[in-house]
Amino acid sequence: MTRIAKVKLPVFQPILGSEETYYYRNKLEFTFSCARWLTEDEIGKEDLGSMNALGFHVPGRFDKILPVDHCYLQPDPSNTIRNGVRDFAEANGISYYELKNQKEGALRNLIIRNTVTNEWMVTVQFAYVTEEEINLVMEYLKSTFPMITSLNYVINQKGNDTFHDLEVVCYHGKAFMVETMEDLKFQIGPKSFFQTNAKQALKLYQLVREYADLQGNEVVYDLYTGTGTIGLFLAKHATKVVGLEYVEMAVEDARINAELNGIKNATFFAGDMKKVLTEEFIAIHGAPDVIITDPPRAGMDVDVVNQILAVQPKKIVYVSCNPATQARDLALLDVAYEVDVVHPVDMFPQTHHVENIVRLILKS
Ligand SMILES: C[S@@+](CC[C@H](N)C(=O)[O-])C[C@H]1O[C@@H](n2cnc3c(N)ncnc32)[C@H](O)[C@@H]1O
């Protein structure tokens, strides 16, 4: 902040720590590979046993997977489910994906998600698979883990693991989970984004609400709204909330969540921020009194910063997962805004990452 922003800064609030420093994530994605990563001791040995691995990518190696026996990031039964699928596949000769050539292998990846309210969603990605193999794996999961409330699979033979453009089949249970935050409910489908540390996300949103300090008569813009969580969190304290987001499907989720919670004063629009947040758009939807902005790691586009400077909301609450780009943007906003709060929140214990809340007030 000091080195890059070079703006006048208040004394920072201490980092808000996470109560849970292990088992705090609500989503993990494990990859199957028939070419596991070899440890230094193993290199050169003749009998290496099975070369299959189910675990995480080795940094910088798209084709090498480090097998995981116990992951300290997600609560159980995450570990039991992953190891169960691994052992079941080995015992039944179900093949693992060939990551390098991408032309063979049945099991591709395994996504395990959960909510604070203890719903569990498991999505299995298959690649080159028979119907019999799908049924075997899905029946195993269904009968062994009754706590799974949403069991899904996808067949993906594309060059990458993303499946937003593929059909997800709900094999058993509901097609989504429902997360609860205070009195709000959020529907989360297999393709939906949701903050991965939900308990700490709640604290982050509570701080955003505190710093937005709404009086009930403001128009609030929630830029980079994702599935609308912050906007919906603030809606009952504002006249109107306008959420903007690039990903069309996230916007659909935001609208579903508004309806699910009976929120009628929040509207959501999809598009690239610098193209959507225009003078015309603002003329139609009303000038914002308060802007909440939570951009991706790259920070805000300079056109977006300029549009904010042109419309001059009284207050900006800027949430960032990359304080370096945030500092760059604060330098640009310095012509009209003064920073009066800096409050980091630890969303990802055991990593160097930090989420940073900055409040900016329009200079008089
Ligand atoms: C850090 S996330 C915000 C998450 C959300 N505020 C929440 O708490 O769940 C950043 C969001 O910005 C969206 N995004 C990235 N680039 C964008 C752009 N150029 N225009 C609009 N939205 C964009 C991403 O799709 C993502 O949902």
Tens of pLDDT, residue by residue over 179-221, are 999 999 999 999 888 999 999 999 999 999 999 999 999 999 9
Q: Is residue 183 part of a domain?
A: no
Q: Find the domain containing 69 and state its range.
A: 27-175
Q: How far is the CA of 313 from the centre of ligand 1 (A)?
A: 20
Using alpha carbons, list the distances in angstroms from residue 44 to 40, 41, 170.
Answer: 9, 8, 44
CA distance linking residue 305 with residue 342, whole number of Å: 19
- Report the CATH number that the domain containing residue 152 is assigned in CATH: 2.40.50.1070
Ligand 1, atom 23: closest residue by C-alpha: 246
- Cβ contact 155:127 at 8 Å: yes
Q: Is residue 180 part of a domain?
A: no
- Cβ contact 199:117 at 8 Å: no
The answer on 214 and 299 residing in a single domain is yes
Ligand 1, atom 4: closest residue by C-alpha: 226
The DSSP element (H or E) to which 185 belongs, if any, is strand 184-188
What angle do helix axes 131-144 and 78-92 make, rounded to 10 degrees? 140
Q: Which atom of ligand 1 is nearest to the CA of 295?
A: 10
- Is the CB of 307 inside a 6 Å radius of any atom of ligand 1? no
Euclidean distance between the first and the last CA atom of the chain, given in angstroms as a whole number: 23
The answer on 304 and 242 residing in a single domain is yes
- Cβ contact 328:5 at 8 Å: yes
The reported pLDDT for the residue numbered 39 is: 85
Mean pLDDT by 10 residues, the chain (364 residues): 96 96 97 91 86 93 90 98 97 94 94 97 98 98 98 96 93 96 94 92 97 98 96 97 93 95 98 97 98 97 98 98 97 98 97 96 95
Q: Retrieve residue 27's tokens.
A: 């989503």
Q: Return the active site residues.
A: 321
CA distance linking residue 206 with residue 333, whole number of Å: 24
Three-class SS of residue 260? helix
Q: How far is the CA of 333 from the centre of ligand 1 (A)?
A: 20
Q: What is the pLDDT of residues 23-69, one digit of tens each?
A: 999 999 999 999 899 988 888 888 888 899 999 999 888 888 999 99
Q: How far is the CA of 346 from the centre of ligand 1 (A)?
A: 19
- Of 140, 162, 200, 194, nearest to 15 by C-alpha is 200
The answer on 218 and 284 residing in a single domain is yes
Ligand 1, atom 27: closest residue by C-alpha: 226
Q: Is residue 187 part of a domain?
A: no
- The residue type of 141 is L
The answer on 153 and 252 residing in a single domain is no
